[in-house]
């Protein structure tokens, strides 16, 4: 290891950062970012990360020039970690560039869920490989975030939701994306955390990996329950669609096989959606022997019944308190109302009327299907028309709600220099 | 083979089977998904190392913060309490495979806290203490690096859809 080798390595880190700055600037000026305060805020966090890296890289360059300030071994350690930090930053910029076409309407859908559970959470939706969510501090190293911003984040956290483009582009998957928002509601309201505390002795005795499994499976159950309470049958339909695309098997932190679908069916029954629950069970049954074999082969893990029951009771109590449980009468009135906006001519097989409707978003998602009773959406064009109608209706509702976006900023966005 | 994991308010009344292989995979994925927290530990320890030669910075404070967390989690691991920071606990369990190694790691962390504490307060430190502190930090960093890299690679592959291009 020589000083000149380290110096050229530090130089190349500085060059990588220079190119990243250009990409960050381009992103900052894109129309999608300008239209979405959440994205502006997210980019300001990337800018904090960038500026921290810039300062560290400059320090590294100085160190390599002044041999006496740090020994080569220390400089080498700094270069290694800096290289990795810049690599992460570069990939985050890359994924942000890919996420420009996530529709703002999806933001309104998720914002509506947070609002219903009285959770002040800022968030961004990024194009990822799998459906997943984490908070900003889990993504960007804490040391890169200034103290005052960190203090703000502790009061009101910033969630990052990853979703594959095929899901963000098609609104029929959106109720399933609500599940990711629900993880953040759980985190903020500490539903899983507080419930598990009551079982603390048992969990503490477990090795770390088993304890993590228990926590993870509890978090999944809570997110499913919150989502089904708020989005009702539409969540079930969407979850089934995602299930059929094989999504849940990707991550071992999730219930495997049809287990999750059966939880959804059982909670629908509790909510009074008896027919929908029965239909959903039937659909799950129809998935056939193959899925059951898969359940068996994977030996799906679960958590003990008393803990499951306590979780269910706690989520129900919170959903009731927030008046967030969708009822069959809500959907029935939605179906009646939607008649004024949506009409399908069965003889000519076309929509006669498809007028955007200013309805609560979850009613919108739950009403159009029962209204059409399977008459439409037999072909791709009709699905496209319905999707457009959903988007236009969300736009209409969101326009009335737009002042809520004023409160998004946690701090003044950083100027990228 | 399944592990009988007790899980109840008054253990071990209720029992449940969790496959240890699946459980290990769950933990590994959880750590990968917290790439920022893993990088934060690595970064803070490098800052601690850096502060040995650049005492007039906030690096020693950052180093002391992470060493404090590691020290607390070692105690938690020995007393079998629920982790305060599960990523730090994971790192500790990866740095020490048995009780004797954990005990030794604990002593090393305490020594580092003492030396960094002095640096932070601008108190004089002996050359022997500094050299020993540096040696410990370099050893920990060499152990930590491949773990952190593995999880960062997994994170990018699982979530960001970028092919693994690194060694």
Q: What is the pLDDT of residues A128-182, one digit of tens each?
A: 988 899 999 999 999 999 888 888 888 888 999 999 999 999 999 999 999 999 9
- Phi, psi at A160, each rounded to 5°: -115, 120
Q: Cα distance from A201 to chain B (closest Cα, Å)?
A: 6
* Chain A residue whose CA is closest to B50: A74
B73 & B63 share domain: yes
Chain A residues inside the 8 Å CB shell of B30? 212, 216, 253
Higher pLDDT, A225 or A399: A225
CB contact under 8 A, A143 and B62: yes
- Could you tell me the residue ranges of all domains in chain A? 3-99, 105-321, 328-406
Query: What global pTM score does this model have?
Result: 0.89
Q: Which residue carries 């960007």 as its tokens?
A: A140
Q: In this structure, is residue B166 part of a structural domain? A: no
B18 & B72 share domain: no
Spatial CB neighbours of A179, under 8 Å, sequence gap ≥ 6: A131, A223, A224, A227, A235, A239
Chain A residues inside the 8 Å CB shell of B141? 77
How far apart are alpha carbons B63 and A69 in whole angstroms? 18
Chain A residues inside the 8 Å CB shell of B59? none
Q: What would the two tokens of residue B24 be?
A: 């290990």
What pLDDT is stored for residue B4 in this prediction? 36
Domain count, chain B: 2
B28 & B44 share domain: no
Q: What would the two tokens of residue A242 be?
A: 């995602």
CB contact under 8 A, A141 and B36: yes
Q: Cα distance from A60 to chain B (closest Cα, Å)?
A: 10
- State the Rg of chain A over Cα: 24
B27 & B42 share domain: no
B13 & B71 share domain: no
Q: How far is CA A142 from CA A145, A243, A322, B73, in A?
A: 6, 35, 33, 18
Higher pLDDT, B21 or A194: A194
pLDDT (tens digit, 9 = 90+) per residue, A325-374?
999 999 999 999 988 888 888 888 788 888 888 889 999 999 988 888 76
Task: Among A38-47, A75-84, A209-218, A272-281, name the one with the lowest average pLDDT.
Answer: A209-218
Decide if A228 contacts A269 (C-beta within 8 A): no
Q: Cα distance from A123 to chain B (closest Cα, Å)?
A: 17
Q: In this structure, is residue B63 part of a structural domain? A: yes
A129 interface with B at CB cutoff 8 Å: yes
What pLDDT is stored for residue A255 in this prediction? 57
B28 & B69 share domain: no
Chain A residues inside the 8 Å CB shell of B93? 208
Question: Is B144 a residue whose pLDDT tops 60?
Answer: yes
B109 & B52 share domain: yes
How far apart are alpha carbons A281 and A287 in whole angstroms? 10
What pLDDT is stored for residue A298 in this prediction? 45
CB contact under 8 A, A141 and B159: no
Among B28, B138, B167, B46, smallest CA distance to A87 is for B167
Q: In this structure, is residue B112 part of a structural domain? A: yes
Among B162, B160, B21, B7, smallest CA distance to A252 is for B21
Give the three-state DSSP class for B81: coil
- Phi, psi at B17, each rounded to 5°: -95, 125
pLDDT band at B59 (very low <50, low <70, confident <90, very high): very high
What pLDDT is stored for residue A207 in this prediction? 85
Give the three-state DSSP class for A120: coil
Chain A residues inside the 8 Å CB shell of B35? 88, 138-139
Highest mean pLDDT among A51-55, A108-112, A299-303, A316-320: A316-320
* Chain B residue whose CA is closest to A49: B36
How far apart are alpha carbons A159 and B95 in whole angstroms? 31
B115 & B90 share domain: yes
B114 & B50 share domain: yes
Give the three-state DSSP class for B5: strand
Q: Which of B42, B62, B157 shows the shortest C-beta gap to A81?
A: B42
Question: Is B26 a residue whose pLDDT tops 70?
Answer: yes
Tell me the H-state helices in chain B: 20-33, 35-50, 59-79, 86-95, 99-120, 127-155
Q: Cα distance from A268 to chain B (closest Cα, Å)?
A: 26
Q: In this structure, is residue B23 part of a structural domain? A: yes
Angle in degrees, CA A109, A111, A112, rounded to 5 = 65
pLDDT band at A302 (very low <50, low <70, confident <90, very high): low
Decide if A105 contacts A35 (C-beta within 8 A): no
B102 & B60 share domain: yes
Q: What would the two tokens of residue B20 be?
A: 């240890």
Question: Is B147 a residue whose pLDDT tops 80?
Answer: yes
pLDDT (tens digit, 9 = 90+) per residue, B64-75?
999 999 999 999
pLDDT (tens digit, 9 = 90+) per residue, A65-104?
887 678 899 999 999 999 999 999 999 999 999 998 899 8
CB contact under 8 A, B26 and A209: yes
Among A66, A70, A162, smallest CA distance to A110 is for A162
Tell me the H-state helices in A99-207: 104-116, 136-139, 147-155, 165-168, 174-189, 191-197, 200-205
How far apart are alpha carbons A64 and A181 in whole angstroms? 46
Q: How far is CA A201 from CA A181, A192, A312, B24, B118, in A?
A: 30, 15, 20, 21, 39
Query: Mind giving me the DSSP string for A229-293?
Result: HHHHHHHHHHHHHHHHTTGGGG-TTS--TTHHHHHHHHHHHHTT-HHHHHHHHHHHHHT-HHHHH
Q: In this structure, is residue B165 part of a structural domain? A: no
* Chain A residue whose CA is closest to B85: A208
Q: Tell me the residue range of the domain where B26 lies.
A: 1-33
Q: What would the two tokens of residue A23 be?
A: 């990409």
Tell me the H-state helices in A66-133: 72-98, 104-116
B111 & B126 share domain: yes
How far apart are alpha carbons A290 and A6 in whole angstroms? 57
Q: Which of A73, A94, A207 shows the shortest C-beta gap to B138?
A: A73
How far apart are alpha carbons A92 and B95 in whole angstroms? 29
Q: In this structure, is residue B41 part of a structural domain? A: yes
Strand order in the sheet with A132-135: A122-127, A158-163, A132-135
Among B12, B27, B123, B62, smallest CA distance to A301 is for B27
Among A404, A338, A361, A373, smallest CA distance to A171 is for A361
DSSP single-letter state for residue A412: P
B5 & B52 share domain: no
């Amino acid at each position: 290891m020589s000083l000149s080798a380290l110096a050229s390595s530090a130089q190349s880190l500085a060059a990588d950062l220079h190119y990243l700055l250009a990409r960050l600037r381009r992103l900052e000026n894109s129309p999608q970012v300008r239209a979405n305060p959440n994205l502006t805020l997210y980019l300001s966090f990337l800018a904090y990360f960038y500026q921290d890296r810039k300062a560290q890289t400059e320090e590294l360059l100085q160190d390599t020039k002044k041999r006496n300030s740090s020994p080569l071994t220390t400089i080498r350690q700094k270069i290694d970690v800096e290289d990795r930090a810049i690599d992460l930053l570069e990939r985050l910029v890359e994924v942000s560039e890919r996420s420009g076409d996530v529709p703002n309407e999806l933001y309104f859908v998720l914002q509506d869920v947070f609002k219903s559970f009285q959770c002040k959470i800022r968030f961004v939706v990024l194009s990822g490989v799998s459906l997943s969510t984490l908070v900003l501090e889990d993504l960007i190293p804490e040391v890169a975030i200034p103290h005052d911003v960190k203090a703000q984040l502790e009061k009101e956290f910033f969630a990052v939701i990853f979703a594959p483009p095929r899901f963000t582009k098609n609104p029929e998957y959106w109720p399933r994306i609500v599940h990711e928002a629900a993880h953040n509601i759980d985190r903020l309201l500490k539903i899983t955390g507080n419930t598990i505390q009551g079982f603390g002795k048992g969990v503490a005795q477990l090795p770390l990996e088993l304890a993590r499994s228990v926590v993870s499976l509890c978090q999944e159950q809570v997110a499913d329950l919150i989502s089904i309470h708020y989005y009702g049958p539409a969540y079930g339909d969407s979850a089934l669609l995602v299930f059929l695309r094989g999504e849940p098997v990707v991550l071992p932190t999730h219930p495997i096989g049809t287990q999750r679908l059966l939880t959804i069916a059982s909670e629908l029954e509790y909510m009074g959606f008896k027919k929908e629950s029965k239909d959903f069970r039937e659909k799950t049954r129809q998935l056939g022997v193959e899925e059951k074999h898969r359940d068996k082969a994977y030996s799906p893990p679960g958590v003990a019944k008393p803990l499951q029951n306590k979780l269910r009771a706690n989520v129900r109590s919170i959903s009731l308190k927030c008046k967030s449980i969708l009822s069959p009468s809500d959907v029935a009135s939605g179906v009646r109302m939607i008649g004024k906006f949506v009409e399908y001519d069965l003889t000519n097989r076309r929509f006669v009327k498809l007028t955007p409707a200013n309805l609560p978003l979850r009613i919108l998602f739950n009403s159009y299907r029962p209204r059409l009773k399977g008459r439409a959406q037999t072909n791709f064009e009709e699905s496209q028309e319905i999707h457009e109608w959903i988007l236009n209706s969300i736009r209409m509702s969101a326009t009335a709600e737009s002042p809520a976006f004023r409160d998004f900023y946690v701090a003044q966005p950083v100027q990228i220099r | 083979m399944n592990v009988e994991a007790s899980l109840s308010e008054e253990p071990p009344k209720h029992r449940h089977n969790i496959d240890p292989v699946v459980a290990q995979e769950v933990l590994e994925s959880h750590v990968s998904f917290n790439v920022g927290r893993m990088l934060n530990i690595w970064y803070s320890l490098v800052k601690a190392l850096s502060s040995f030669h650049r005492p007039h910075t906030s690096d020693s404070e950052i180093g002391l913060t992470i060493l404090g967390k590691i020290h607390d989690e070692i105690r938690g691991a020995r007393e079998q309490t629920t982790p305060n920071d599960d990523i730090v606990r994971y790192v500790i369990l990866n740095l020490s495979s048995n009780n004797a190694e954990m005990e030794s790691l604990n002593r090393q962390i305490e020594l580092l806290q003492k030396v960094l504490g002095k640096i932070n307060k601008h108190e004089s430190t002996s050359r022997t203490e500094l050299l020993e502190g540096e040696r410990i930090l370099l050893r920990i960093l060499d152990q930590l690096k491949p773990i952190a890299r593995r999880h960062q690679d997994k994170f990018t592959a699982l979530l960001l859809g970028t092919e693994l291009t690194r060694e």
